[in-house]
Amino acid sequence: MCDTFVVMPGSSKNKKLWFAKNSDRSPNEPNLIINQPAKKNDLSACADVSLTYISIPQAEETHALLMVKPVWTWGCEMGVNEHGVCIGNEAVFTKGKYPETGLIGMDICRLVLERCSSSLEGMKLIGSLVEQYGQGGNCGFDEAMYYNNSFIVADASQAYVVETVGYEWAAKNIEGVYAISNSLTIEREWDFSCGSLENTAKKYDFSKAHSDTLRTHFSGASLRRYMIYQTLLNAKDGAPRKNIYSILLGDSFIKRDEAPGIDYDICKDALRAHIPSGGFVDSPCMHYGGPIGGHTTGSLIVCPKDGFISLTGGSTPCKAVFKPFLKSAELPFSEDEQQAELYWLRRELIQRNILAGNIDNDEYLRECITLEQELDSLLLSFAGQNSDGFNQRVFNMENDFVQNYLSGCKRDAGALVPKKGSFGYKKRWNKKNAVLLERIAELGI
């Protein structure tokens, strides 16, 4: 379960495109931040690249990129490359059986980032990959999960939604604001499609023809997509807005914009949004604990025109710090997957201690707010200055914040039992905690 959206320049406050995504996966599934440089590949030595389940011909050159990827896959959930191409995928539940092998949506995301210099190229590559190789394979981390995929691919000025079922696909240009959340959204209005659809005498309803309505309903997609649109369009139209801290800090934290429009703060609000009295799968900021559903394990916001990237680097965006980085300078991340896993696990251990009541939730949120505001102010002060220093300073400030809380974290399963919730809720978390703590002990955190 995930949520991805794009805001086109005409709908944003700064008249620039914004891309954002939450990755909802197993709560124990580290989402690694990987900074991969541009590469020239020796095709005479290795003509193919091994993806998660299949191999395909390697490209002679691949672009530099930053991606957020599950620890076990070749591919990624989301990312941005050196040309400002951004992409994120959503699981979509469709009729029929899913093959045991093939491309998975995360493979496709990384291939687009490695090989495409525009969103148009990205849209076309998705289509050609799906038509040639099809989709298949278990996409779950600690339980089986099979699905097809939808994507938003964007650059600084254009964006496309691409929806796929097996070997078929349809796509359309995006205007205004567009969000996808685990359901097919393209009906009869596609602008591009696979050969089999181009040969049809009349466009049929792509979504209606292929959706597994039962699984789509229980994914909570419609409610999450509604919440994203509500947050974004209320800001676009100038309505007073609350964010996740309003309940904690009172009405003084409700913002009334003199110049309404969608900006970085609004993108953060949308990824942190909760539906009051919703179920475990109903909110964009998804919290694990129900018999179905995942957990938001990573979040990304990009403004390609400004070379601006913001990441949580951990789970639970409503209780995490969004860290702004400038792509024009060296990013403080690497290709080292074990270091990336340690980065995620440190932040996750803090979240489990908050859930157990070992860390005061309200105090932690206040400090998150303060740090995030300091980072945003620092971003403004660095305009036109040495961005190398900016990126490292942001990294260090948030890392100090994490280390301060990490030093007081408890590391035994009995101490991480959630204080509130039903018997089933606590049992499910206890099982996850036991496995996570084994990995934390193995890596010496």
pTM, full prediction:
0.94
Is position 360 within any domain? no
Is position 345 within any domain? no
Count CA atoms closer than 13 A to 233's CA, side-chain side.
10
Classify residue 82 by its DSSP letter. T
Q: Which two tokens stand for residue 354?
A: 């908050």
Minimum mean pLDDT among 59-73, 201-215, 224-238, 343-357: which range?
224-238
Q: Over 50: is that where the pLDDT of 355 sits? A: yes
Is position 271 within any domain? yes
CA–CA–CA angle 99, 103, 105 (5° rounding): 110
Q: Which domain holds residue 304?
A: 2-335
Mean pLDDT of 419-427: 92
**Band of the pLDDT at 33, cuts 50, 70, 90?**
very high
Contact assessment for residue 341 and residue 397, using Cβ atoms and an 8 Å cutoff: no
pLDDT value at residue 256: 43
Number of domains in the chain: 1
Residue 116 annotated among the catalytic residues of the structure: no
pLDDT value at residue 387: 72
Minimum mean pLDDT among 37-46, 72-81, 149-158, 249-258: which range?
249-258
Minimum mean pLDDT among 59-73, 245-259, 366-380: which range?
245-259
Q: Over 90: is that where the pLDDT of 415 sits? A: yes
Is position 369 within any domain? no
Q: Which two tokens stand for residue 432?
A: 């996850």
**Residue, of 379 and 202, whose pLDDT is higher:** 379
**Band of the pLDDT at 142, cuts 50, 70, 90?**
very high
CATH of the domain at 311: 3.60.60.10
